Amino acid sequence: MFPVRKFFVDNQRPKICASITEEDKLSVTAAADIMVQKKVDIVEWRIDFFKKLEDFSEVEETLKRVHESLGKIPLLVTYRTENEGGNGKLSGEEYRELILNLSKNCFVDLVDVEVFNGRVMEDDVKAFCGDEGLTVPEILEFIQTVRENAAVIGSYHNFKSTPDKETIKAALEIIDSVGCDILKIALMPEKNGDVLRLMTSVNELKEEGTSKPIIAMSMGKIGSVSRVIGESFGSCLTFASVGQESAPGQIEVSKLTNLLDTMHSLR
C-alpha cells in the first residue's frame, strides 16, 4: 500500500495535487504527460468525468497508460458524486463497487472515499443517515476492505456552506475513526471568518493528537488563501489547477508552487 507516513512528512511544504478531468483515454493520458512536465507531487484522476466508465476494461487500460506516464508520481483516483460537487450519478451500491474495483488495480496508489456519501449532515454530525447509507460499522468494514490494496483519503465536501467548528471537527473525527489514512475536508465560505474557522479547526485537531495527515481547503475566491497557508494550520496537501479547475478557487500550479515555496521559507 502507498506509504502515506513517508510521503506526508511534518514540517515540509504541503504537497501539490492537480486533477485530470478529461473525458476519454487519449485526452486523459495526454493530460498525465502535462502533469509530469508541471512537476506536481500527486495526480488525481477525476474518473467521474470519464465517458466510458461503464467499460471497466477501458478504465483499466487508461490507468495503465496514466501510470506509464506518471512514473513515480502517485496516482489518486476520485469518483466525485453530485452530492459532493462532482458529476457522479452512481447509486450508493454502484459507487462502492466502483471504489472497490479501483482499489484492486495495481496502478492506483490512493482512492478517495466520500465517508458521508448519500447522507445528510444533521445538527449532530454523528447522526448522519441516508436512503442508501451504511451504518458506521459497515463503513468501517468497507474502508478496511479498500485499504487492503490502496490508501484511502476519506473526504467530505460541502459546496453550500461552512459549518460551525464543532461540526467540522466532528466530521474529521468520524473520517478518522472509520480507518481512513488521510482526512480531507473542503467547504464553501460566505465570508473570511468561515475560512479562518476551518483552518483553526484543523489546527486544533492536530494539536489534540491526530497523527493522520489532513487536507483542508476553503473553496471559491474567498477561500483561495487556504490553498496557500495550509502549512501553518496543519494541512498537508493542496489542489492546483492545470488548465480546467476541478474545484472553485484553485490556483494555477506554477503560481501556487511559488507561493508555497515562499511561505515555507518564512517558517
**CATH code: domain of residue 236:** 3.20.20.70
The predicted pLDDT at position 120 comes to 47
Residue 8 lies in a domain: no
Residue 4 lies in a domain: no
Residue 244 lies in a domain: yes
pLDDT tops 70 at residue 187 = yes
Q: What does the alpha-carbon distance between residue 261 and residue 255 come to, in Å, rounded to a whole number?
A: 10
Of 76, 124, 109, 129, give the one whose Cα is nearest residue 246: 76
Residue 1 lies in a domain: no
Q: How many structural domains is the chain composed of?
A: 1
Lowest mean pLDDT among 17-26, 83-92, 123-132, 164-173: 123-132
CA of residue 41 relative to chain centroid, distance: 14
Q: What are phi and psi of 86, to 5 degrees?
A: -105, -165
Residue 162 lies in a domain: yes
Residue 151 lies in a domain: yes
CB 143 within 8 A of CB 212: no
Amino acid at site 214:
I
Query: What is the percent of the chain where pLDDT is above 70?
Result: 92
Residue 3 lies in a domain: no
DSSP-assigned beta bridge partners for residue 42: 17
pLDDT tops 90 at residue 135 = no
Residue 43 lies in a domain: yes
- Average of per-residue pLDDT values in the chain: 91
Strand ranges inside the chain, DSSP E: 15-20, 42-46, 75-78, 110-114, 151-158, 182-187, 214-218, 237-241, 251-252
Active site residues: 157, 184
pLDDT tops 50 at residue 220 = yes
Lowest mean pLDDT among 51-55, 133-137, 176-180, 248-252: 133-137
CA dist 267 to 13, 29, 91, 220, Å? 10, 37, 45, 26
Domain hosting 173: range is 13-265
